[in-house]
Structure 1
Amino acid sequence: MSRRTLSSVLLATLLSSPYVLAEEVQLQHNGLTLNANLQIADDSSLEDGAVLITHGTLAHNGMDIITTLQELLMDEGYNSLAINLSLGQSDRHGMYDCTTPHVHKHSDAIPEIGQWVQWLKSKGSDKIMLMAHSRGGNQTAMFADQNKDDAIKGQVLIAPQTWNQSEAAAGYEKRYEQALQPLLKQADTLSQKGGEQWLEKTGFVYCADSKVTPDAFLSYYTPDERQDTPTLLKSSSLPTLVFYGTEDKVVPDLSEKMTQVTNDNVTTVGIEGSDHYFLDLYADEVIERTLEFFETL
């Protein structure tokens, strides 16, 4: 029996055990209901610590990479809390619907991650490890950079977002056949006017013909080196483990950029053959190296 099959059997067995808790939990933040999936390992409690997991762009905590990470962590005796970023919606589930107007900002994730850290601490956790995928990796690194907390012991960033101003502009024009700079100017003008202003039928992240607030557009597209995770990590004081996949087409420059991070607090691991999502046996390797990292904290 493969480890993946064995893991699935173990998950089904553990979820039926009275000693294991897997449930949705909620909290209130800025008038929105935030939700997360909490999994407590066999014969454990949040006082033993937890891994707080954040998903990627317009995604959710039920996508394969997140559920697999929670399953494997539970198999190894680790509690985890996989959060759904609100993206401006109350009690959000599933992928973001591109037909929904975009009011969310890249930076909104930072206080939301902070709310969940505080929630874990209120439940007795004083050993919190951060884990995140893709854009969530950048948002988590931003949070850690801005919030020093003795309860947070380290962070694991899986294929975290990179950014380059010229490449971002070129990528936007290629995807949406429209120059980015005029839209940034338009968004800035509308933002300064205040009131209810919108960019209509606008390309936004993965969504074409979107309705977007100017502030949301500016948050995602205004040149900002902090959205380049390797740049943030050059000065990080938090123990950090970064994974990249050698076949990743989403952040193909991550491995090269991480060679420029000369910080003793940061370790980089390449997973040979993995794409952006580290599924199946690649996830096993991520968890194996992650557990080795946790043992050093």
Structure 2
Amino acid sequence: MNLLTRVTSTLAFSLLAAVATLQADEVTVKQGDLELRADLTLAEGKTAKDGVIMLLHGTLAHNKMEIMQALGDLLKERGYNTLNVNLSYALDKRPSEMLDCTIEHQHKHEDAVAELDTWMNWLKAQGASKVAILGHSRGGNQVAWYASEKDSDLLEKVIAVAPATWDAAESAKGYEERYQKPLADIMAEATKLIDESKGATAMDVPGFVYCEKTKATADSLVSYYKDDERKDTPKLLPKIKKPVLIVVGSADEVVADLPAKLEGVKQDNLTVETVDGADHFFMDLYADEVADKVATFVDWK
């Protein structure tokens, strides 16, 4: 490649990157002492009044991870506005990157429900006429939790892509296998601290979610590891009154028990769609199929 061609290619790439950056506007909203971040993307010729699909990422992840970026871009192509939320994990203006395992973890699983509600109120203030919420993995559970307990007049549709399931015994077994210490011992210590009104006390633990040898408060540990059936997405579905779409990957080994658990849920407002061959992250053309199913389900055109 000669110099002129190389320079031309570099400029072209830079222009494309600049255009891609301009497609989404970063927006912020205050929640207590925290400033929450998200990316708002408007489809061509659309405003918030045309409706917004709010997107929520998975465990300790962020709003620019591949699946969330892909779904945002693909939904825009199909004429839908999106608000791609970046959970704070109790950090002010948290950057769009995987959560640093070395921090002192003070966040809770259910914090996402409050943050979704903050963003729903923000969308209402922006003039949004209707909202659909879509979550992936743990985010799928959190949007279902929100819809089952908070709801909103704005909320029209709920979409959970490979949503998290929960089994307390399996969680405890997996913890001990991975971190070589019984979870029950850690939970007993954390629960004792909470009973003594010391839930904000940080504990040195061999593992917390995906993080090894880290610190987490007693409150945070109990939130993520206590036996709470609301973490099991299929158990939330009967409490949701709005139309719900669950998207399953046929090759998903992360929530392999999801199809069997969904078989026991029978309700008129539930649609279950399977993407053949997709694993937990619906990469490449599988993301297109997810976007098609979401667009058909939302059906705002």
Match of 1:51 in 2: 53
Residues 14 and 120 of structure 1: is their aligned pair in 2 closer, same or farther, counting only changes over 3 Å? farther
Secondary structure at the aligned position of 1:234 is classed as helix
**Cα separation, 2, equivalents of 1:282 and 1:32:** 35
Secondary structure at the aligned position of 1:237 is classed as coil
Q: Deviations over 1:234-255 (max 9, x none)?
A: 3321100001111111111111
**Cα separation, 2, equivalents of 1:188 and 1:294:** 42
2:221 is aligned with 1:217: yes
Q: Deviations over 1:92-115 (max 9, x none)?
A: 121100001100000111110000
Q: Size of the alignment, in residue pairs?
A: 285
TM-score after normalising by structure 1: 0.92
Q: How does 1:203-242 map to 2 (within 5 A)?
A: 203-242=207-246
**Cα separation, 1, equivalents of 2:266 and 2:235:** 11
Structure 2 residue runs of 5 or longer lacking an equivalent are 1-14
Is the Cα–Cα contact under 8 Å of residues 15 and 22 in structure 1 kept in the other structure? no
Q: Which runs of 4+ in 1 moved over 2 A?
A: 12-17, 192-196
CA RMSD, Structure 1 to Structure 2 (Å): 1.9
Secondary structure at the aligned position of 2:297 is classed as helix
Letter in 2 for 1:226: R
Q: Which of 84, 97, 101 is residue 98 of structure 1 equivalent to?
A: 101
Q: Deviations over 1:85-142 (max 9, x none)?
A: 1001011121100001100000111110000011111011021010110001111111
Is the Cα–Cα contact under 8 Å of residues 181 and 206 in structure 2 kept in the other structure? no
Is the Cα–Cα contact under 8 Å of residues 14 and 42 in structure 1 kept in the other structure? no
**Cα separation, 1, equivalents of 2:25 and 2:293:** 27
Match of 2:148 in 1: 145
**Cα separation, 2, equivalents of 1:185 and 1:248:** 33
**Cα separation, 1, equivalents of 2:46 and 2:17:** 12
Match of 2:178 in 1: 175
TM-score after normalising by structure 2: 0.90
Secondary structure at the aligned position of 1:106 is classed as coil
Match of 2:131 in 1: 128
Structure 1 residue runs of 5 or longer lacking an equivalent are 1-11
Match of 1:3 in 2: none
Secondary structure at the aligned position of 2:64 is classed as coil
Letter in 1 for 2:53: V
**Cα separation, 2, equivalents of 1:181 and 1:280:** 40
**Cα separation, 1, equivalents of 2:23 and 2:65:** 20
**Cα separation, 2, equivalents of 1:40 and 1:28:** 22
**Cα separation, 2, equivalents of 1:122 and 1:96:** 29
Residues 181 and 65 of structure 1: is their aligned pair in 2 closer, same or farther, counting only changes over 3 Å? same
**Cα separation, 1, equivalents of 2:178 and 2:64:** 27
**Cα separation, 2, equivalents of 1:126 and 1:289:** 22
Letter in 2 for 1:273: G
Letter in 1 for 2:257: D
Is the Cα–Cα contact under 8 Å of residues 54 and 82 in structure 2 kept in the other structure? yes
Secondary structure at the aligned position of 1:144 is classed as helix
Q: Which moved more, 1:285-294 or 1:63-72?
A: 285-294
Match of 2:79 in 1: 77
Q: Which moved more, 1:157-166 or 1:196-205?
A: 196-205
Secondary structure at the aligned position of 2:272 is classed as strand
Letter in 2 for 1:187: A
Is the Cα–Cα contact under 8 Å of residues 255 and 270 in structure 1 kept in the other structure? no
Residues 15 and 126 of structure 1: is their aligned pair in 2 closer, same or farther, counting only changes over 3 Å? farther
Structure label with greater radius of gyration: 2
Letter in 1 for 2:124: K
The CA deviation at 1:296 is: 8.1
The percent identity for this pair of structures is: 40
Q: Which of 61, 64, 72 is residue 63 of structure 2 equivalent to?
A: 61
Secondary structure at the aligned position of 2:169 is classed as helix
Q: How does 1:270-285 map to 2 (within 5 A)?
A: 270-285=274-289
**Cα separation, 1, equivalents of 2:17 and 2:116:** 28
Match of 1:160 in 2: 163
Is the Cα–Cα contact under 8 Å of residues 55 and 85 in structure 2 kept in the other structure? yes
Match of 1:292 in 2: 296
Is the Cα–Cα contact under 8 Å of residues 205 and 213 in structure 2 kept in the other structure? yes
**Cα separation, 2, equivalents of 1:133 and 1:89:** 21
